[in-house]
Amino acid sequence: MALRQLPTGSLLTHHSDRGCQYCSTEYVEQLTAKNIAISMTQNSDPRENAIAERVNGIIKLEFLETDNCSFSETNNQVKQAIFIYNNERLHSSIEMQTPNQAHSMNGPLKRHWKSYYSSKNKEVAMT
């Protein structure tokens, strides 16, 4: 469906969690033959997608108007939503800052998000 709807000259990226079906030679050859970039999680851990899925959900629910939008209109809405998400929307998980503010900080940032990985240190160094 993505290939059929993709505007001419556009690039496509296929992201997966390294499932064996997505790593098979036949599947990778099909992606490569169609010039589709391949993106996979680092450690075969589906929990690595959680942050991206959360961001996608927020963008869909809070920012996008989905009624009869053209590809161009949706593309513009997504760009605007990402800008607002990163520069204007305050996040409780990062001490009511925007992501750009949090990333520009020096020193530790107290964590307010759930981690699926064991960690003794509850602060993340921001550089």
Q: What is the pLDDT of residues 14-44, one digit of tens each?
A: 877 777 788 889 989 988 998 888 887 776 6
Amino acid occupying residue 125: A
Of the pLDDT bands very low, low, confident and very high (cuts 50, 70, 90), residue 118 is: low
pLDDT of residue 48: 65
- Tokens encoding 60: 């869909």
pTM for the whole structure? 0.53
Cβ atoms < 10 Å from Cβ of 37: 11
* Torsion, CA 26, CA 28, CA 32, CA 37, rounded to 10: 160
CA–CA distance, 76 with 62 (Å, rounded to integer): 15
pLDDT of residue 22: 80
pLDDT of residue 87: 93
